[in-house]
Amino acid sequence: MWDPSTYLRYGSERSRPFFDLVARVGAGHPRAVADLGCGPGTLTAALAERWPGAAVHGLDSSPEMIERAGALDTRATFEVGDVADWQPAPDTDVVVSNALLQWVPDHERLLTRWVAALPAGAWLAVQVPGNFDGPAHRALRATGGDRLAHLFREAPVRDPAGYADLLLAAGCAVDAWETTYLHLLPAGTVVDHPVLTWLEGTALRPVRAALDADQWSAFRSELDARLRAAYPVRHGVVPFPFRRVFVVARVP
């Protein structure tokens, strides 16, 4: 289950890649814009502001996220649904997917299917985290051991060259890149290590769901100790490097 409040705890850090992504989308007056895996809808609302003439629609498989999105003061519309079943409409001129596809197995097949169905000149903009071999995910895998290994996939995403290759082969013009953000997370305000509270909004959800209360408490303390060693406090903040992979493709 996704918890919008936990996810939004680091909303400012999490939204920056979204704005860096959509800054590279050159659409002037799109007819329809889809935000796939829209989460709590705050960023979908920003798309509705950027393109006031477009029908902007957010889709997410989490009813909790869509309920939160539906309470926003925005003209964007929202719907519960699985992206695996989504198909572009003939007037979908922009598709945005920010921090979604790492959760979707075989998402490369979806990307090529969407490109084939999008109208000429449409834009597809995707961002995924690229930190699965970083210290936070190594700590998760070490703490989970064999028992939870099935919850942690080693490389659920490609690098920029991998997505460029896929979308060039589909006939698109492609812009692909990566950025490592250095998030400086406040260290003093919460008892838990801030990287732990960050992960609770995303990667830790399946772990929490798989464990009972005692097992979760033990897992959490062991992970907390590992994260404290991997990401020490410096001058009152915890520097947390976070690599992200971007691709923007234009349908010919």
Ligand X SMILES: C[S@@+](CC[C@H](N)C(=O)[O-])C[C@H]1O[C@@H](n2cnc3c(N)ncnc32)[C@H](O)[C@@H]1O
CB of 14 to ligand X, least distance (A): 6
Asked if residues 92 and 205 have their Cβ atoms less than 8 Å apart, the reply is no
Q: Would you count residue 126 as binding ligand X (CB under 6 A)?
A: no
**CA distances (Å), origin 151, targets 56, 101, 140, 199, 243:** 33, 16, 10, 14, 21
Nearer to ligand X, 60 or 93 (CB): 60
Which residues within the stretch 59-98 sit at the binding site for ligand X (CB under 6 A)? 60-62, 65, 82-84, 98
CB of 70 to ligand X, least distance (A): 13
Contact region with ligand X (CB under 6 A), list: 58-66, 134-142, 148-156, 232-240: 58-66
Burial label, 248 (beta-carbon count in 10 A; 0-12, 13-18, 19+): buried
Q: Which two tokens stand for residue 24?
A: 């590279």
Cα-trace Rg, the chain: 19
CB of 85 to ligand X, least distance (A): 8
Q: Would you count residue 103 as binding ligand X (CB under 6 A)?
A: yes
Put the strands of the sheet holding 123-129 in their side by side order. 77-80, 55-60, 32-36, 92-98, 123-129, 237-250, 173-186
Asked if residues 104 and 110 have their Cβ atoms less than 8 Å apart, the reply is yes
Q: Would you count residue 204 as binding ligand X (CB under 6 A)?
A: no
Q: Would you count residue 39 as binding ligand X (CB under 6 A)?
A: yes
How many residues lie near ligand X (CB under 6 A)? 20
Which residues within the stretch 3-22 sit at the binding site for ligand X (CB under 6 A)? 14, 18
| Rounded-to-integer distance, Cα 199 and Cα 177, Å | 24
Contacts of 39 (CB under 8 A, 6+ apart): 2, 4, 7, 60, 62, 65, 69, 99
Nearer to ligand X, 56 or 104 (CB): 104
CB of 47 to ligand X, least distance (A): 11
Q: Would you count residue 107 as binding ligand X (CB under 6 A)?
A: no
Positions touching ligand X (CB under 6 A) are: 2, 14, 18, 37-39, 43, 60-62, 65, 82-84, 98-100, 103-104, 202
